């Protein structure tokens, strides 16, 4: 495997680095957003269940 890129090495490796950073950032942001939305969904489901329980008791 020849990794000699001559004068383009900085550009090529820099591009790989930027791409890896972008993919990692998108993954982290997606996981965080998913967790936050899952928390909100659970809270809404609990609220709805509590409201239904109050209506049944009334």
DSSP string for residues in 24-57: HHHHHHHHHHHHHHHHHHHHHHHHHHHHHHHHHH
pLDDT digits (tens, 9 = 90+) for 27-42: 999 999 999 999 999 9
Q: CB-based contacts of 12: which residues, under 8 Å, 6+ apart? A: 5
Question: What is residue 58's predicted lDDT score, i.e. its pLDDT?
Answer: 67
Residue 44 lies in a domain: yes
Residue 37 lies in a domain: yes
Residue 58 lies in a domain: yes
Number of folded domains that form the chain: 1
Which helix H or strand E contains 6, and what residues bound it? none
Structural domain for 55, as ranges: 33-58
Question: What is residue 29's predicted lDDT score, i.e. its pLDDT?
Answer: 98
Q: Is the pLDDT of residue 5 over 90?
A: no
Residue 25 lies in a domain: no
The token duo for 47 is: 């609220």
User: What is the C-alpha to C-alpha distance for residues 58 and 48, in angstroms, rounded to an integer?
Assistant: 15
């Amino acid at each position: 495997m020849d990794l000699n890129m001559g004068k383009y090495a900085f550009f090529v490796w820099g591009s790989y680095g930027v791409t890896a950073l972008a993919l990692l950032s998108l993954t982290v942001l997606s996981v965080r957003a998913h967790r936050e939305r899952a928390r909100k969904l659970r809270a809404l489901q609990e609220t709805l269940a509590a409201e239904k329980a109050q209506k049944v008791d009334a």
